[in-house]
């Protein structure tokens, strides 16, 4: 069965927690209760999630940390290499380019594009910025599936349409727009304004 978004996010949290924990002091096994305690989740939830990706624990012992990490990485597809293009090299796009954590998850940015002629040809974080006109040919030629969208909000839908037309299958959307795409294309929104709403509301209630 296809895993839901909430499950994927929890799996990611387990993985991160275990990576960080084992980095400081090596441990062989861990119980669902320990994970639940640290992440403020119900222990049953942890066991169900683990069960969903085929992990089995041992009574009175728990789960092999190694196995858990491995299973999560496999299920998520972090072993598979995912080439991606990044579009829009502004402040945020630039910051993402230098983010060192992507390769750990199999993501590699292979080309970056911008519509500003003043930027094209220049180099940023080891990437030569290409003209937006070469976007479609590039994607087609290299069979790119994933685009990271960091453009101004006015052009994001236009670019998204172009991406879809050449076969992009997932858009990581850092622009504050609700993109319209066909149902087989995944859009993952990363608008920080959503987070801001939760914060502002909380502060107001004090």
Q: Indicate which single residue of 2, 60, 202, 204 sits in contact with DNA (rule: CB under 7 A).
A: 60
| Smallest separation (angstroms) from a copy of itself to the CB of 54 | 15
Alpha-carbon span 138 to 84, nearest angstrom? 11
- Does the footprint of DNA cover residue 194 (CB under 7 A)? no
| Smallest separation (angstroms) from a copy of itself to the CB of 197 | 4
Closer to a copy of itself at the Cβ: 42 or 61?
42
Q: Which does 16 bind (CB under 5 to 8 A by kind): DNA, a copy of itself, none?
A: a copy of itself
CB 81 within 8 A of CB 108: yes
Closer to a copy of itself at the Cβ: 33 or 196?
196
| Smallest separation (angstroms) from a copy of itself to the CB of 33 | 16
Closer to a copy of itself at the Cβ: 63 or 174?
174
Alpha-carbon span 203 to 63, nearest angstrom? 39
Q: Indicate which single residue of 1, 23, 56, 118 sits in contact with DNA (rule: CB under 7 A).
A: 56
CB 104 within 8 A of CB 86: no
170-173 vs 146-149, strand pairing mode: parallel
**Alpha helices, H only, the chain:** 5-24, 32-39, 43-52, 65-76, 91-97, 135-142, 153-165, 192-204
CB 148 within 8 A of CB 172: yes
| Smallest separation (angstroms) from a copy of itself to the CB of 158 | 13
Q: Which two tokens stand for residue 42?
A: 């119900």
Residues in the chain: 206
Q: Indicate which single residue of 18, 62, 85, 163 sits in contact with DNA (rule: CB under 7 A).
A: 62
Q: Which does 62 bind (CB under 5 to 8 A by kind): a copy of itself, DNA, none?
A: DNA
Footprint on this chain of DNA (rule: CB under 7 A): 4-7, 31-33, 41-45, 47-48, 50-51, 55-63
């Amino acid at each position: 069965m296809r895993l839901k978004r909430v499950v994927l996010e929890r799996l990611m949290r387990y993985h991160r927690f275990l990576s960080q924990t084992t980095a400081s002091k090596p441990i062989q096994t861990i119980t669902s209760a320990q994970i639940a305690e640290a992440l403020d989740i119900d222990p049953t939830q942890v066991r169900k999630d683990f069960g969903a990706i085929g992990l089995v624990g041992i009574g009175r012992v728990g789960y092999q940390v190694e196995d858990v990490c491995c299973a999560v990485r496999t299920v998520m597809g972090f072993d598979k290499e995912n080439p991606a293009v990044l579009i829009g090299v502004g402040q945020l796009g630039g910051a993402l380019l230098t983010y060192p954590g992507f390769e750990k998850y199999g993501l590699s940015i292979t080309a970056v594009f911008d519509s500003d002629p003043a930027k094209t040809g220049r180099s940023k974080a080891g990437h030569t910025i290409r003209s937006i006109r070469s976007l479609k040919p590039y994607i087609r030629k290299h069979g790119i599936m994933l685009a990271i969208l960091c453009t101004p909000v006015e052009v994001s839908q236009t670019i998204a349409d172009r991406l879809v037309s050449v076969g992009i299958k997932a858009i990581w959307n850092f622009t504050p727009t609700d993109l319209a795409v066909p149902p087989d294309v995944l859009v993952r929104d990363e608008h920080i304004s959503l987070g801001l709403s939760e914060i502002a509301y909380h502060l107001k209630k004090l």
